[in-house]
């Protein structure tokens, strides 16, 4: 067992007296106070430990804490349980409550060339992200998950060896198709012509309108949970619950309480003419992995589906029990109207204690009414929204 350095109270008292009252009489001359150097030397002699010994102690403590943190780092190469817990009807048991927030970005950072960190690098990247996240300005309006007791070090959120959640292709979202580039440019032009908040019909943010949370899928898209923007924080919701029955899996996520009911009985997808906000999901088991395919998303224009995708979006998710406290979550998205090729993501979902806490939207839609009315009044008065780039050159209202 490592011995801890404990400074005797008598030594502390002696050092304090020396600093407050001066050195012993032998160091004093003709009533003058000792020099700073003499007082420091006397304090060193009174200390039971040298500077080198104290530094060695703190280095040992730092190494101990680092070793503890490294044990928590998620290793994507770790094999899943070969015999995971089963439900009473014999299916792999994925039921439970899971944390979906994490500090690993969706895309690999520009200055990082490799797919995996070393464990030490993963801990440092996690520490940097959580420290930055804790610096959210409390004076700004933001959705801060830490306000609900889910601080980075209080929750089971873990450092990750992955430098980014995207596993294919090469840590980055593929290039946009020409159609998607045109769609994005048209949306930007529309926003420049008219504040989208002035009318519900062109109010493109379905999340703010409380119509959808995150489209209910996928469960994660990486980032910093404490983002001080509604869009940023809303894209990184903190928790989800999974139910199971012999014929269905139900996923409840607190993004405006999104609920997906997924049949497991082999029924075909709905006809292409039937479109739903959350898409049409069908599930099946591949060994111990639950596979869910979702198609038939609606065209929510002028808003978009996940990451700017269209109604051609197809999502394939995979849920695998890695250990009693971790669910490996993988998904692949494809949309020929948006990206030049499919892309895939993988991340851990740690278990959390129940229950789910409500992610409340604006009650009775009064928030939406006030938002639109305020934008309409500004438009009538010729006042641009402060977020509009043209507002910088606009004279302040009298």
Res. 77 pLDDT band, cuts 50 70 90: very high
What confidence tens digit (pLDDT) does each residue in 107-164 have? 999 889 999 999 999 999 988 887 776 666 656 555 555 444 444 445 788 899 999 9
130 or 287: whose pLDDT is higher? 287
Among 10-19, 86-95, 204-213, 315-324, where is mean pLDDT lowest?
10-19
Model pLDDT, residue 397: 43
Q: Residue range 63-82: average pLDDT?
A: 88
Between the CA atoms of 89, 90, 96 and 98, what dihedral angle is there, to the nearest 10 degrees? -150
Q: Most confidently modeled of 158-162, 238-242, 302-306?
A: 158-162
Q: What is the 3-state secondary structure (H, E, C) of the chain?
A: CCCCCCCCHHHHHHHHHHHHHCCCHHHCECCECCCHHHHHHHHHHHCCCCHHHHHHHHHHHHHHHHHHHHHCCECCCCCCCCCCCECCCCCECCCEEEECCCCCCCCCCCCCCCCECCHHHHHHHHHHHHHHHCCCCCCCCCCCHHHHCCCCCCCCCCCECECCCEEECCCCCCCECHHHHHHHHHHHHHHHHCCHHHCHHHCCCCCCCCCCCCCCCCCCCCCCCCCCCHHHHHCCCCEEEEEECCCEEEEEECCCCEEEEEECCCCCCCCCCCCECCCEEEEEEECCEEEEEEECECCCCCCCCHHHCCCCCEEEEEEEEEECCEEEEEEEEECCCCECCCEEEEEEEEECCCCCCCCCCCHHHHHHHHHHHHHHHHHHCCCCCCCCHHHHHCCCCC
Q: Which residues does 305 contact at the CB level (< 8 Å), separation at least 6? A: 215, 297, 298, 311, 313
Among 57-66, 78-87, 322-331, where is mean pLDDT lowest?
57-66
Q: Residue range 211-222: average pLDDT?
A: 73
Beta-carbon count within 10 A of 398 CB: 3
Q: Residue range 81-106: average pLDDT?
A: 92
Res. 26 pLDDT band, cuts 50 70 90: very low
- Please name the residue that has the structure tokens 């604006």: 362
Determine the Cα–Cα distance for residues 86 and 92; give it in Å rounded to an integer: 4
Whether the per-residue pLDDT at 282 is higher than 80: the answer is: yes
Model pLDDT, residue 347: 93
pTM as predicted: 0.75
Whether the per-residue pLDDT at 17 is higher than 70: the answer is: no
Whether the per-residue pLDDT at 181 is higher than 60: the answer is: yes
Model pLDDT, residue 31: 59
What confidence tens digit (pLDDT) does each residue in 325-357 have? 999 999 999 999 999 999 999 999 999 888 887
Res. 21 pLDDT band, cuts 50 70 90: very low
Nearest in space to 347 (alpha carbons), one of 95, 157, 71, 120: 157
Q: What is the mean pLDDT of the chain?
A: 78
44 or 363: whose pLDDT is higher? 44
């Amino acid at each position: 067992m490592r011995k801890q350095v404990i400074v005797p109270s008598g030594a502390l008292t002696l050092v304090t007296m020396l600093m407050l009252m001066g050195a012993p009489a032998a160091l004093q001359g003709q009533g003058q106070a000792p020099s700073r150097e003499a007082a420091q030397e006397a304090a060193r002699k009174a200390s039971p430990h040298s500077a080198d010994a104290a530094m060695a102690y703190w280095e040992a403590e730092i190494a101990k804490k680092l070793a503890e943190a490294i044990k928590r780092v998620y290793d994507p190469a770790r094999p899943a349980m070969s015999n995971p817990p089963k439900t009473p009807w014999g299916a792999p048991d994925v039921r439970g409550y899971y944390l979906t927030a994490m500090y690993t970005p969706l895309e690999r950072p520009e200055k990082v060339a490799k797919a995996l960190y070393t464990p030490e690098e993963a801990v440092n990247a996690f520490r940097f992200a959580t420290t930055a996240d804790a610096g959210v300005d409390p004076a700004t309006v933001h959705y801060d998950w830490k306000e609900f007791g889910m601080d980075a070090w209080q929750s089971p959120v873990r450092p990750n060896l992955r430098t980014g959640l995207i596993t294919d292709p090469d840590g980055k979202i593929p290039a946009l198709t020409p159609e998607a580039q045109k769609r994005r440019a048209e949306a930007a032009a529309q926003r420049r012509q008219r504040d989208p908040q002035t009318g519900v019909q062109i109010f493109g943010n379905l999340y703010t309108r409380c119509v959808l949370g995150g489209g209910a899928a996928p469960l994660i898209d990486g980032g910093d949970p404490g983002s001080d923007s509604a869009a940023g924080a809303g894209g990184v919701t903190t928790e989800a619950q999974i139910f199971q029955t012999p014929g269905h899996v139900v996923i409840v996520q607190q993004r405006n309480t999104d609920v997906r009911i997924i049949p497991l009985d082999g029924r075909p997808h709905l006809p292409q003419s039937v479109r739903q906000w959350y898409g049409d999901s069908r599930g099946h088991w591949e060994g111990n992995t639950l596979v869910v395919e979702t198609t038939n998303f609606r065209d929510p224009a002028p808003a978009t589906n996940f990451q700017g995708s269209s109604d051609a979006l197809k999502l394939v998710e995979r849920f695998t029990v890695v250990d009693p406290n971790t669910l490996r979550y993988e998904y692949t998205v494809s949309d020929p109207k948006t990206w030049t090729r499919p892309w895939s993501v993988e991340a851990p979902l740690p278990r959390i204690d129940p229950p789910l806490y409500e992610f409340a939207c604006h009650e009775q839609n009064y928030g939406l009414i006030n938002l639109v009315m305020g934008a309409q009044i500004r438009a009538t008065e010729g006042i641009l929204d402060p977020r509009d780039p043209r507002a910088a050159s606009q004279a302040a209202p009298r």
